[in-house]
Amino acid sequence: MQFLTFIGFTALVAIIAYLKTRKTEESSSDGYFLGGRSLTAGVIAGSLLLTNLSTEQIVGLNGAAYQSGLSVMVWETLAAIAMVVTAMFLLPRYLKGGLTTVPGFLAKRFDVTTKTLTSVLFLSGYVVVLLPVILYSGSLAISGMFDIPTLLGVTHTQSIWICVWGIGIIGSIYAVFGGLKAVAVSDSINAIGLLIGGILIPVFGLMMIGDGNILDGLSTLTTEHPEKFKSMGGPTDPVPFYTIFTGMMLVQLFYWGTNQQIIQRALGAKNLKEGQKGLLLASFIKILGPIIVVLPGLIAFHLFQGNLESADSAYPMLVKKVLPSAWVGFFAAVLFGAILSSFNSVLNSSVTLFGIDIYKQHINKEASEKTVVKYGKTFGVILAIAAMFIAPLIANAGSLFDYLQEINGIYSIPILTIIIVGYLTKWVPAIAAKVGLVSGCLLYILSQFILQPYFVQKAMNTAAESNITDIAELALIEAQAYPHFLDVMAILFALNVIIMLIIGKIAPRKEPFVQEYTKQVDITPWAYTKQVGIAICVIVIGVYIYFA
């Protein structure tokens, strides 16, 4: 019965997506890559939320909350402010330039080489890390939920291979053959299911704690574990509070404002008004995100008394404990939709970057739009197959998600730097952007993968010599041995900006940069953008003050 519910809901989403997109013209770049620039606010908001929300976040953040408490909600709440900034500052400039890809702006502002370097950085991050991680983490969730090894009589490793290829093939069909509109429509339907299913988990959990009463359950939770309900993280927490003012906001701005897999939804807006409304709607809902990705972890801590072997098992164990069996198939289908969404969104963005920024630019400059789409799809198929082969091998990668967060810093901060400097200055030349990209990547690699291990090991050796064995004290020593990776990002961002400005002063452009209005979309802003944006920021600050 559970499996039939799963198949039924998944099939329903696929049929609706097909019916909604069959008339979209997809032989052109705008039609395939941007859904014909026809996306409305609701579709944009739903697609943004579900692209962001996947198994690694649902499982990972709830695991972090189980371990460290409410302070990890910063990944959700601060995202709302980053989306407000994107709606007010970046999106009007993107749509004014008629951009299909973020690196497309860099070609106009700096030069083609800068654009190509940025596209290659994006693709490297997507191919080597992001796609395999999404496939592997999603396969773990689906395999565990349906107990695939027992169901099919296979080993755990074989079940992961089966799930990886199942998710990969279905996701590829959506992303490669359906284009952005198919991805966005299926995302919107699944977003509704994920919101319903995601909210039901903490509801059932609180009812279990409160003997059928949700408010009693919440009161018991906050009364018995007050230390878990502090919004400000300490020095040994995953996100110390002060990092909100250093690198955290930069990470959020990169993710929501410049990351191709995310911003591509807003670039597909039918006009600026719809794009801004979509971003602001998503940002408001994002404030409620901790209900789905933080509160269940706190509930799990209470129900299991903090005795689980692994923090990452908190969410799956909670679902198994509190969800009525009749709902399991539906929730698995919704979770499957979230996994697919992240996979096919990254894949669609990779196809876009390759087709427009590499194939059209360097391989076949005379290619028609139909040819660009054709070879972009071919690249997507190759990419998907490569990711499906790599994903099961991740099983032995150790602490994957912590590593993933740090790895992304290699390319996120350099790219954010050159985009911000590109928009805020007129005279900084192309050579400054190239230096910023290269120096940003190399300095981050030097810091996090050479200097940090050295200083941490040195501090731990000193602690061992001093016979320090207390776990809490050792954790503090380790945390203080080297700056937090978010602090490193902030330092390198500032350093990169200074380097670029100095180069701009010494060897400025011959002509100041002036952004042209392509008139591809109407860029009349939504009348209430500022008021709604300010209101969202006030709500976020209020949440922090309340839980401080």
Q: What percentage of the chain exceeds 90 in pLDDT?
A: 26
Residue 264 has pLDDT above 80, yes or no: no
In this structure, of 191-195, 361-365, 466-470, the range with the lowest mean pLDDT score is: 191-195
Per-residue pLDDT band at 399 (split at 50, 70, 90): very low
Query: CA-to-CA distance for 393 and 379, rounded, in angstroms?
Result: 22
pLDDT at residue 185, rounded to an integer: 64
pLDDT one-digit tens code per residue, 471-527: 778 878 888 889 988 999 999 999 999 999 999 999 999 989 888 877 778 888 999
* pLDDT value, residue 31: 47
Residue range 302-327: mean pLDDT, rounded = 81
Spatial separation of the C-alpha atoms in residues 296 and 198, rounded to whole Å: 9
| Percent of all residues in the chain with a pLDDT value above 70, rounded to a whole number | 88
Over residues 438-460, mean pLDDT: 91
pLDDT tier for residue 33 given thresholds of 50, 70 and 90: very low
Sorted by where each begins, the domain ranges of the chain are 2-396+517-547, 397-516
C-alpha to C-alpha distance for 260 and 441, rounded to whole angstroms:
18
Rg (CA), the chain: 23
CA distance 143 to 166: 11
How many Cα atoms occupy the beta-carbon half-sphere of 388 within 13 Å?
20
Say whether pLDDT at 32 is over 50. no
State whether residue 522 is helix, strand or coil: strand
Q: How far apart are CA 261 and CA 257, in angstroms?
A: 10
State the pLDDT confidence band at 531, using cuts at 50, 70 and 90. very high
For the record, the structure tokens of 382 come out as: 């190759």
- Other beta carbons within 10 angstroms of residue 71's beta carbon come to 22
Between CA 138 and CA 513 the distance in angstroms is 44
Tokens standing for 109? 């502002």
Asked if pLDDT for residue 22 goes beyond 70, the answer is no
Q: Stretch 314-326: mean pLDDT, rounded? A: 81
Residue 176: its pLDDT value, please? 59
Q: Is the pLDDT of residue 83 over 90?
A: yes
State yes or no: pLDDT of 45 exceeds 80.
Answer: yes
Assess whether pLDDT exceeds 50 at residue 94: yes
**Residue partners of 475: CB distance under 8 A and separation at least 6:** 236
CA gap 456, 375 in Å, rounded: 47
| 158 Cβ contact list (under 8 Å, min separation 6) | 149
**Mean pLDDT of all residues in 48-59:** 76
Q: What is the pTM of this model?
A: 0.81
Structure tokens at 260: 């191709």
Give 343's pLDDT tier (boundaries 50, 70, 90): confident
Which helix H or strand E contains 328, and what residues bound it?
helix 325-352
Please state which architecture CATH assigns to domain 2-396+517-547.
Up-down Bundle (1.20)
